[in-house]
Structure 1
Amino acid sequence: MPGATLEVHYKLFGTDGVSLQSQELSKELRRRGWQVHPCAADVPDGSDGLRIAELSYQSADAVELRRRIFPPAADVNTASPTTASALIDEITARAGAIRAAIEQYIDAHHIALLHIRNIMSLPYNLPATLAFYDLAVARSDLGFLMQHHDLYWEGPNARLFTTPYAEITALLDTIMCPQLPNARHTLINPIAGDALRERKGIVGTVIPDGFDFDREVVSIDGPAFRARLEIVAGEGAPVGPDDVVVAMPARVAINKSIELAIQLVAALDERRDALQSAPDGVGRERRRFTASSRVVLLLPQGEDLEDNRAYFDRLVAYAKHMGITLAYGGAIVVPDRRYQPGDDVHYPFYSTYQAMDFICYPPEHEGFGNQAIEAVWARLPLAVFEYPVFQHYVRDHIPHYISLGNTEQLGRTGEFGGLHQLREDVLA
Structure 2
Amino acid sequence: MSEEDNKRGHRIGFVGTRFAGTDGVSLEAAKWAKVLWHYRHTSYWFGGKLDTNPEVSMLVPHAYFGHPDIEWVNERSFGKITRDPEVTRRVFAIADHLKRSLYDFVRKFDIEILVVQNASCIPMNLPLGVAIALFCAETNFPTIAHHHDFYWERDRFTVNSVGDLLRMAFPCTMPCIQHVTINSEAQRALSHRRGVSSVLVPNVLDFEKQPTGIDDYNADFRQSIGLEPDDILFLQPTRVVPRKGIEHAIALIQSLGNPKCKLVVSHESGDEGNDYLNALQEMAEHQGVDLRYVPQSIGEERGVNEAGEKVYLLADAYAHADFITYPSLYEGFGNALIEAFYYRKPVLVNRYSIFVSDIEPKGFDVPTMNGFLTRDVTAKVKRIIDDPVYRQEMVDHNYELSLRFFSHAVLRRKLRALITNVTGLDDL
TM over 0.5: yes
The answer to whether structure 1 residue 261 and structure 2 residue 257 are counterparts is no
In structure 2, what is the equivalent of residue 30 of structure 1? 37
SS in 2 for 1:306: coil
224, 247, 251: which one aligns with 2:220: 224
SS in 2 for 1:374: helix
* 1:65 to partner: Cα distance: 3.2
Q: Aligned partners of 1:107 and 1:31: how far apart in 2?
A: 24
Q: Aligned partners of 1:114 and 1:326: how far apart in 2?
A: 45
**Shift in alpha-carbon separation, 1:5–1:310, aligned structure 2, 3 A:** farther
Letter in 2 for 1:385: N
The answer to whether structure 1 residue 9 and structure 2 residue 16 are counterparts is yes
Greater shift after overlay, 251-260 or 205-214?
Answer: 251-260
SS in 2 for 1:69: coil
Q: Aligned partners of 2:211 and 2:118: how far apart in 1?
A: 28
In structure 1, what is the equivalent of residue 412 of structure 2? none
In structure 1, what is the equivalent of residue 136 of structure 2? 136
The answer to whether structure 1 residue 202 and structure 2 residue 196 are counterparts is yes
| Normalised TM-score (structure 1) | 0.77
In structure 1, what is the equivalent of residue 240 of structure 2? 252
| Normalised TM-score (structure 2) | 0.77
* Number of aligned positions between the proteins: 365
Is there any run of 5+ residues in structure 2 with no aligned partner, and where?
Answer: 1-5, 379-428
In structure 2, what is the equivalent of residue 332 of structure 1? 297
138, 148, 169: which one aligns with 1:175: 169
Letter in 2 for 1:191: E
255, 263, 267: which one aligns with 1:297: 263
* 1:160 to partner: Cα distance: 0.4
**Shift in alpha-carbon separation, 1:310–1:125, aligned structure 2, 3 A:** farther
In structure 2, what is the equivalent of residue 278 of structure 1? none
Q: Aligned partners of 1:357 and 1:392: how far apart in 2?
A: 27
- Between the two proteins, what is the percent identity of the paired residues? 24
Q: Deviations over 1:250-276 (max 9, x none)?
A: 3333332222222222222x2x2xxxx
Report if the CA contact (8 A) 2:297-2:312 is conserved. Answer: yes
Q: Aligned partners of 1:193 and 1:225: how far apart in 2?
A: 41
Is there any run of 5+ residues in structure 1 with no aligned partner, and where?
Answer: 230-237, 273-292, 411-421
Q: Deviations over 1:93-150 (max 9, x none)?
A: 222222232321221100021111221111112122112112111222x211111112
334, 359, 365: which one aligns with 2:330: 365
Q: Aligned partners of 2:279 and 2:29: how far apart in 1?
A: 31
Structure with greater helix share of residues: 2
* 1:217 to partner: Cα distance: 4.4
**Shift in alpha-carbon separation, 1:195–1:107, aligned structure 2, 3 A:** same
Report if the CA contact (8 A) 1:357-1:380 is conserved. Answer: yes
25, 50, 57: which one aligns with 2:65: 57
SS in 1 for 2:74: helix
Letter in 1 for 2:159: T
Greater shift after overlay, 213-222 or 62-71?
Answer: 213-222
Report if the CA contact (8 A) 1:220-1:347 is conserved. Answer: no
* 1:199 to partner: Cα distance: 0.9
Letter in 1 for 2:143: F
* 1:309 to partner: Cα distance: 4.1
The answer to whether structure 1 residue 66 and structure 2 residue 74 are counterparts is yes
Greater shift after overlay, 314-323 or 103-112?
Answer: 314-323
Q: Aligned partners of 2:33 and 2:210: how far apart in 1?
A: 14
Report if the CA contact (8 A) 2:252-2:373 is conserved. Answer: no
